[in-house]
């Protein structure tokens, strides 16, 4: 079955950029698109161990008469398979329930704040909670539409970093784009990371798929982020305690998302990786 990416459409120029990014992602990984055009300001997402209420800002309800037409035009131009989701169940009359059996979900850096508050250094609390609860990876799109020409995996040795590595290999296989791995060494030597890769049975795929494993031993992590191509899709794990304590939305992740404007594909703790 073709994988599906879930997208909440916002009928304004910022929303157009995000939908263009979702369309491009679907084309690269051979996925179909599921688009939700909200008619209400809130909805519920039911995950296995959590229920997340998503509070949208009023920009998501801009010009409802033209929203469907605009979304269809972009999808037609992008030439991807798509369907529009209409919630069937409601927890309350103004609170629709949205299914979560998707393979990916696209979000801007915030889905509940006006554009004046959206920027590098800020990922909204609802997006963070979706990442933490979802079984699927979350695509946090760049501020404007940007095609990616390579895949960059951040590997810090945690269980979620291993899952991110597996997902990165999958994206590489689907897209055919070159792949690089980035690791900032702390107190642990490179051999520690190599043993983790060996233990997880990823040596063969590392050899087959990775153009270069960038091991940073000097300079600060922020400085070394300059080595990440601006047009790479960045894949990384969330909330994982690795050998360099890479806690996403803690230290390392905050440095990444506040420094680079790349599209980020984030693997949360409930993601179930497949090779």
Does this model's pTM top 0.75? My answer is yes
Residue 245 above 80 pLDDT? no
pLDDT digits over 130-140, tens only?
888 889 999 99
Determine what percent of the chain is predicted with pLDDT higher than 70: 87
State residue 178's pLDDT score. Answer: 97
Contact 131, 266 (CB under 8 A): yes
Separation CA 181–CA 228 (nearest Å): 10
pLDDT digits over 246-261, tens only?
444 445 666 776 778 8
pLDDT digits over 15-60, tens only?
999 999 999 999 999 999 999 999 999 999 998 888 989 888 888 9
Sign of the torsion formed by the C-alpha atoms of 33, 34, 40 and 42: negative
What number of CA atoms fall less than 13 Å from residue 258's CA on the CB side? 13
Domains of the chain: 4-140 (3.40.50), 150-267 (3.40.50.620)
pLDDT digits over 66-118, tens only?
999 999 999 999 999 999 999 999 999 999 999 899 999 998 766 655 444 44
Q: What does the DSSP assignment read for the chain?
A: ---EEEEE--SSHHHHHHHHHHHHHHHHHT-EEEEE--SSSEEEEE-SS-EEEEE--GGGGS-HHHHHHHHHHHHHHHT--EEEE----EEETTEEEE----SEEEE-S-SSS-GGG-STT---HHHHHHHHH-SS-EEE--SS-----EEEEE--SSHHHHHHHHHHHHHHHHH---EEEEEE--SS-HHHHHHHHHHTT-HHHHHHHEEEEEEE-SS-HHHHGGGS-TTEEEEEESS---TT---TTTSHHHHHHTT--S-EEEE-TT-----
Closest C-alpha among 25, 10, 44 to residue 105: 25
Residue 212 above 90 pLDDT? yes
């Amino acid at each position: 079955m073709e994988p599906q990416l879930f997208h909440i459409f916002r009928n304004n120029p910022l929303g157009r950029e995000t939908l263009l990014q979702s369309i491009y992602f679907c084309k690269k990984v051979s996925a179909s698109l599921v688009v939700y055009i909200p008619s209400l300001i809130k909805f519920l997402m039911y995950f296995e161990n959590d229920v997340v209420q998503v509070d949208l800002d009023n920009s998501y309800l801009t010009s409802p008469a033209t929203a469907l037409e605009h979304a269809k035009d972009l999808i037609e131009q992008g030439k991807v398979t798509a369907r529009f989701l209409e919630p069937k169940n409601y927890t309350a009359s103004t609170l629709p329930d949205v299914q979560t059996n998707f393979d990916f979900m696209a979000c801007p850096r915030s889905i509940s704040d006006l554009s004046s508050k959206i920027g590098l250094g800020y990922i909204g609390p609802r997006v963070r909670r979706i990442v933490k609860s979802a079984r699927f990876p979350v695509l946090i799109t760049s501020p404007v539409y940007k095609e990616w020409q390579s895949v960059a995996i951040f590997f810090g040795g945690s269980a979620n970093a291993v899952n991110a590595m597996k997902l990165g290999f999958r994206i590489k296989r689907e897209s055919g784009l070159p792949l690089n791995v980035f690791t900032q060494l702390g107190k642990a030597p490179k051999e520690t990371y190599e043993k983790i890769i060996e233990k997880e049975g990823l040596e063969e795929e590392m050899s087959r798929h990775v153009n270069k494993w960038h091991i940073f031993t000097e300079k600060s992590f922020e400085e070394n982020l300059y080595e990440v191509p601006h047009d790479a899709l960045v894949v990384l794990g969330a909330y994982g305690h690795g050998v360099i304590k890479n806690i996403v939305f803690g230290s390392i992740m905050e440095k990444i998302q506040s420094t680079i404007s790349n599209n980020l594909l984030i693997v949360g703790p409930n993601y179930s990786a497949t090779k």
